[in-house]
Chain A
Amino acid sequence: MKIDAKTVSDLAKLARLDLRPEEAPVFAAQLPTILEYVGQLMNVTTTITPAPPLVDQPWREDQIEPSAAADDILNQAPDRDERFWRVPSVF
């Protein structure tokens, strides 16, 4: 696929990332080379099925414990309303 400034811009939108005007063309120039390099994997044919990730934790009872961190966390909020984080409107 052709990776141009528009593709890069679209991908950035998907990632909720604005690019500065000078960044999109630079990335558009660099990305095709990188993607071509990693794309060499496509030349390997295999039917192997990777094992699912191993989670090795013992089970425990679901016991509610107080969390001391709540106030510390809320104190870092860029904008808050009591115990809510406040954000600009969605629309």
Chain B
Amino acid sequence: MKNKDLLKEISQAHTQGDKKEVLEAEKQVKLLVFEIDEKQYALHAEQIREIVMDVPLFYIPFVPPYIRGIINRHGEPYTVFDLHVFFEKEKLAADTYMILNIPNDQLAVLISTILEIVKVNESDIHPITSTDETDAYFLGSITLQQSEIFILNVTSFLTRLEGDLDSQ
């Protein structure tokens, strides 16, 4: 092969490699960023069905303190999870609920406010590497405007609730 052709091939090989890297980097996820008190968290957008505000919260007995009660959405009861009680042992004074999209179950999360929806590259999500018990409740974190925002792991909260109810 002549060097001219070889150089051409070398150049093509690099271009294809770049394209592949670009394609992989383009895999993006949509996250909803919200606040609980002054702390920011995120959830994968497809896990959220709707946001509602100012609906009555009804008490239910025999559940852990982080379950604040149930709300009525279209005639169906949704369990309300208060993450502020879960992490800070204090009730959140708020009336905004994120209704989650969970197959065969009904769960809502009490939050202070919705901040924004962001699209991030999957590669920008920092995995959780520590083995701290609290970190099991997060899927990873992103950096947004120099703040680290943890992405909630909904399944882990449901597992914790199941365990707490069984032990009561």
Q: Is this pair of chains taken from one and the same complex?
A: no
Binding site for A on B (CB under 8 A): none
A interface list, Cβ under 8 A from B: none
